[in-house]
Amino acid sequence: MKTSQLFQTALEPDALHMFFHDVRQTSERLAEPLSDADATVQSMPDASPAKWHLAHTTWFFEAMVLKPFVSAYKTFDEDFHFLFNSYYETLGARQPRPRRGMITRPALSHILDYRKHVDDALDALLRTTAGRRITELVELGCHHEQQHQELLLTDILHLFAQNPLHPAYRDPGPVTVETADRLPLFFTTFDEAIVEIGHGPVGFAFDSEGPRHRVLVEPFRLADRLVTNAEWADFVNDGGYKKSLLWLSEGWAKVQAEGWSQPLYWEERDGQKWTMTLRGFQPLDPTAPVTHISYFEADAFATWSGKRLPTEFEWETAARGIVIQGNFLDTHCLRPKPASPHVGGLQQMFGDVWEWTRSAFLPYPRFRTVEGAVGEYNGKFMSGQFVLRGGSCITPPGHMRASYRNFFPGHARWQFSGLRLAEDA
């Protein structure tokens, strides 16, 4: 199956050229507040140093586009192929993921030189009449880098949370938290229907978003907003982390083994709940969406509430026709925002926090991996993961679609992940 049938292209050459430069410049802007030490340290095996993200996204263009298609291209540094490959088995050996923080050299400045070297070569290539195969791979590389922009920020947040000084990534001033009445939770009913799920024929999509296919969705009801910090505090205060009957077996084992008692980054200071954010340690906003929770925590909360998590098919059905706008990276808020009391119907469907669904990340009917190394992009991870939908407050604008399927293992907490309740109708 050809790449064009799975990684769909949306852009004309001039637009792709502009997109490429915008993505590459955005990554470097995101790294500007970081020192060389900030960009080198790895806080846990699941995270990667910022320097590695900057280099790996560059390696992707070099390994997937420049080396295969530009005979005159001169490799910047042969050692980088080992250092900055992520998980592409077909492309050879690599630095083990848990030891990426050992790459103290090259320095951040040298990584930026590497980026310029590759950018110059890509710029020259895109000014020629590049074939469709090349433009598809460049566009895929841009969307791949946008994914790493979000990962760079979540990984920096986790790193700074381990620092006893709780430094801010940006804008360290205190964030005003206004006391507001709790918004009631309303549910929208959706009738039984056979719906088309997955990305259509127009516009870019990752391979895991297709093929488009039909699904029978039973009648269901979906909450109009995300679950808030105040509602989660009620769960904590009611002993939610101590009641084994609320939890899936694997989740309860995690609670016991790792001592979970509240969302990641929550702490108590002088009788008040605080949380670590990209703007430093801040008072917890009770009306904002809860975040940094695992699938197991989300599922336990839903059970405690007498509700459940939506399936990814229910979520996509509800999202159809909703304008894709919300609290994304371009708002510069860098944290989830409360729902509006003046908006009727579903809100917060896009942005703020990724929403856990109860759906496992599995291939759609008739899914086939792409030939070659890019076939390792998503298909090999379709086991032991759960789907999240909707994007977050640090998702780059323009990167989101109603069909977008993010995925993480059930224990993952360091992402901007939250939940929306559902129930049978």
- pLDDT tens digits for 110-140? 999 999 999 999 999 998 877 888 999 999 9
When pLDDT is averaged across residues 54-79 and rounded to a whole number, the result is 96
Same domain, 263 and 404: yes
Do 313 and 194 form a contact (C-beta atoms < 8 A)?
no
Same domain, 276 and 139: no
When pLDDT is averaged across residues 341-347 and rounded to a whole number, the result is 86
Same domain, 193 and 90: no
Who contacts 198 (Cβ-Cβ below 8 Å, separation ≥6)? 209, 210, 211, 212, 213, 364, 403
Same domain, 238 and 329: yes
When pLDDT is averaged across residues 144-169 and rounded to a whole number, the result is 97
Q: How many domains does the chain have?
A: 2
pLDDT band at 1 (very low <50, low <70, confident <90, very high): very low
pLDDT band at 376 (very low <50, low <70, confident <90, very high): low
Residue in 269, 264, 31 with CA at minimum distance from that of residue 158:
264
Residue 308 lies in a domain: yes
Same domain, 158 and 192: no
Predicted pLDDT of residue 5: 44
Residue 226 lies in a domain: yes
Residue in 292, 289, 288 with CA at minimum distance from that of residue 262:
292
Domain final position from 104, 127, 162: 162
Residue 256 lies in a domain: yes
**pTM (two decimals):** 0.95
Same domain, 150 and 206: no
Residue 42 lies in a domain: yes
Residue 85 lies in a domain: yes
When pLDDT is averaged across residues 82-88 and rounded to a whole number, the result is 92
Predicted pLDDT of residue 4: 39
Predicted pLDDT of residue 8: 59
Same domain, 153 and 194: no
When pLDDT is averaged across residues 154-167 and rounded to a whole number, the result is 97
pLDDT band at 270 (very low <50, low <70, confident <90, very high): confident
Residue 315 lies in a domain: yes
pLDDT (tens digit per residue) in 295-327: 999 999 999 999 999 999 999 999 998 999 999
| CATH at residue 82 | 1.20.120
Same domain, 147 and 219: no
Expressed as residue numbers, the domain containing 83 is 3-162
Residue 73 lies in a domain: yes
Predicted pLDDT of residue 7: 57
| CATH at residue 342 | 3.90.1580.10
In the block, tokens 């992009």 appear at 377
Residue in 79, 210, 60 with CA at minimum distance from that of residue 148:
60
Predicted pLDDT of residue 202: 83
Predicted pLDDT of residue 371: 78
Same domain, 332 and 420: yes
Residue 371 lies in a domain: yes
For the chain, helix (H) and strand (E) counts, in that order, are: 10, 12
Same domain, 114 and 230: no
Same domain, 251 and 356: yes
Same domain, 8 and 45: yes
Backbone region of residue 417 per phi and psi (left: phi > 0; alpha: psi in -120 to 50; beta: other values)? beta
